[in-house]
Amino acid sequence: MLVVEISQPGGPEVLTPAERPIPEPGPGEVLIRVAAAGVNRPDVMQRKGAYPPPPGASDLPGLEVSGVIERVGAGVTEWRGGDAICALVAGGGYAEYCVAPSPQCLPVPRGLDMIAAAAIPETFFTVWTNVFEGGRLQAGETALFHGGSSGIGTTAIQLAAAAGSVVYVTAGSDAKCRACEELGATKGINYRTVDFVEAVRLLTNGRGVDLILDIMGAPYLDRNLRALAMGGRLVEIGLMGGSEAPIDLRRLLARRLTVTGSTLRPRSVEEKGTIADALRQQVWPLLEAGTVKPIVYRTLPLRSAAEAHRLMESSEHIGKIVLTVL
């Protein structure tokens, strides 16, 4: 089968088309004939050598795919050959065939094509578990999502707005801010021209927001704490600006703040299966009704994965970049 491998840590040019044997599904796994594979920022980090696959995972990049089940492994009863699915995987998505644990597969939502379906798993699993589980966002609360136009951001905006929360986002241009507002954000804050702490203060009449989903890490830590309301939660899911920063603990005590975070990839199949069940119950109806949708910015053929990474690193995109295989 055709795959794209990381020949060595480096720039987009290290993404190299190659031939490999089709993998075998083990017990509890399915073999997927891949139609499309989503590209995510963690793939870029893996390519640079900064995010190695967890033990036992494929060394190939690619954390999500859509396609048709070719074969099921021993003990799989919920799926069979021919089913159209999308799946969260711990690696191996940049390939014509990919193996996925059965609990991490979900049906392609009615009304969506394979390209849209491939753009769902990584950001929907991540947003669900960090915004609604870890971050405990409730209807009527306010949230600030950094990187509103990212794959994660465009998902978080729609899910939080659908859940009845007021959403603010930061983004790097006025055009991106407008795109986020069209998706349901009450206000986009252009972080290049406006201080987001001050903007949040004005937008919330001095109260602050209940939840911040952060992707920048260190350089935003203190400003994030200052932008939170009493009882506010800061959830770290990305450290694009660095991981170590001083913290003034008085801010936590004075306003009963919570700082937490998580990464999805190393979590167990069982935990990911639990998230998949929640998505199927609570989010699949929204996807099938068109209330929320994956935002696909551009598709490129699998062989052009290097170009897809260049595009992602340019930050020109709004939403997701998807590799097409079939």
List contacts with ligand NAP (CB under 6 A): 40-42, 122, 126, 147, 149-152, 171-172, 176, 215-216, 237-238, 240, 262-264, 312, 315
Query: In Å, what is the CA distance from 131 to each residue of 8, 23, 50, 157, 293?
Result: 34, 34, 25, 10, 17
If the CB atoms of residues 258 and 262 are measured against ligand NAP, the closer one turns out to be 262
Q: Single out the residue of 61, 53, 90 nearest to residue 268, CA to CA.
A: 90
C-alpha distances in Å from residue 94, one per residue of 58, 148, 175, 324: 10, 26, 31, 9
Instruction: Provide the minimum distance between the beta carbon of 81 and ligand NAP in the complex, in angstroms, as a whole number.
Output: 30
Measured distance CA(269)–CA(273) in Å, rounded: 6
CB atoms within 10 A of CB 27: 10
Residue with smaller CB distance to ligand NAP, 33 or 176: 176
Nearer to ligand NAP, 109 or 134 (CB): 134
Determine the distance from the C-alpha atom of residue 319 to the mean position of all C-alpha atoms in its chain, rounded to a whole number.
10
- Let me know: does 18 contact 5? Beta carbons within 8 Å: yes
Least distance (Å) between residue 209 CB and ligand NAP: 18
Compare residues 171 and 305 and give the one whose CB is closer to ligand NAP.
Answer: 171
We find the least distance from the C-beta atom of residue 231 to ligand NAP, in angstroms, to be 23
User: CB-wise, 215 or 227, nearer to ligand NAP?
Assistant: 215
Work out how close the CB of 310 gets to ligand NAP at its nearest, in angstroms, rounded to a whole number: 12
User: Taking CB positions, which residue lies at the least distance from ligand NAP?
Assistant: 238
Q: How far is the CB of 71 from ligand NAP (least distance, A)?
A: 29
Q: How far is the CB of 15 from ligand NAP (least distance, A)?
A: 16
Q: Based on CB atoms, which residue is closest to ligand NAP, 84 or 263?
A: 263
Q: Sign of dihedral through CA atoms 296, 298, 299, 301?
A: negative
For residues 301 and 326, give the distance between their C-alpha atoms in angstroms, rounded to a whole number: 9
